[in-house]
Amino acid sequence: MDIVIENMNSNIIREMRINTIKRLTGLFDFDYIFREISNIDFNKVILDITAVKNCGDINIFKSLISFINPDNLILVVASVTINDNYLEELINLGIYNFAYNSNHIKELYQSPNVYEDAIKLINGNNRARIIGIKNVTKHAGATSLTYILKKHLKKEKKVLALEIDRLDFNFFYDKEIISIPENKLEIIMKKYYNSDIVILIDVNESKKAMDMCDEILYLIEPTMLKINQVMMVDPTMFQNIKDKKIILNRSPLDNNDIKEFEVESHLHVFYNLPTINERQNNNKFVIDLIKKLNL
């Protein structure tokens, strides 16, 4: 059985079905982690780097591997910026298994990295950041938000926007956004995966696309009509996304309304996004969302 220590990347980890003997959620210092797991007989430790206080201090990991065999450690490193020097120091400690998404975790379960695999991360550390965008309530704006994020991001970095199994992108008349069938997704990913690029995916109903994402933004339009519609179709919907990144899109809610929504839905709102003018190039709310996503 495995130990999971998670924080900001819990949405990635919880996409997997992990048979856990211990699960810690939050931000912890070394002493607390040691007390909680050092006497447990475990198979793997899936450790979210954002769950470790002062994770930028390499000495923390020197201490951790004194009681966690690096071969049994999978370090989830999404949601933070890892530079090559830091990565090299971790590799020099014998920590080779780095996961950016749930697919990486699955791969490392089946075939853990060796030194040569880890070194490739440094030599080719420019890799795509893959962000999925999915509607929870009907027509919550995933297609438009994908377009808007692409429009803002492209001023600073390379960005690719994809739409899976739909043709809604055609209405934007923008050649930089691409509508593709699910069976073409792997070809696109192979082409761009080892590039310094942000890939935005309007995933629609594609499980394959969702599995490829580093993280997924779940959009809810928080009107009574939209919420009641989705709850009538699937009363467990909010429970199923409890630990996900929730964005209230086209939202009329103020701070007090958001608190009330969180109490009623048992969800934590990652970001509250009002209706956005798609023609704007420098919308404050979109820029703040990009910063919060560390894009």
Q: What is the pLDDT of residues 188-202, one digit of tens each?
A: 888 887 778 899 999
Predicted pLDDT at 40 = 93
Most confident stretch, 37-51, 80-94, 111-125: 37-51
Same domain, 147 and 266: yes
Q: Give the total number of structural domains in the chain.
A: 2
Picking from 55, 7, 10, 8, the residue whose alpha carbon sits closest to that of residue 294 is 8
Same domain, 181 and 99: no
Same domain, 9 and 154: no
Same domain, 109 and 139: no
Same domain, 209 and 87: no
Q: Which stretches does DSSP call E strand in the chain?
A: 2-6, 20-25, 45-48, 73-76, 98-99, 129-135, 159-164, 177-180, 198-202, 215-220, 245-249, 269-273
Same domain, 119 and 150: no
pTM for this model (two decimals): 0.62
Contact 33, 3 (CB under 8 A): no
Q: Is the pLDDT of residue 125 over 70?
A: no
Structural domain including 81 reads 2-123
Same domain, 185 and 169: yes
Contact 99, 72 (CB under 8 A): no
Same domain, 184 and 263: yes
Where does a domain end: 90, 123, 156?
A: 123
Same domain, 17 and 44: yes
Predicted pLDDT at 123 = 63
CA 166 to chain centre: 23
Where does a domain end: 123, 143, 158?
A: 123
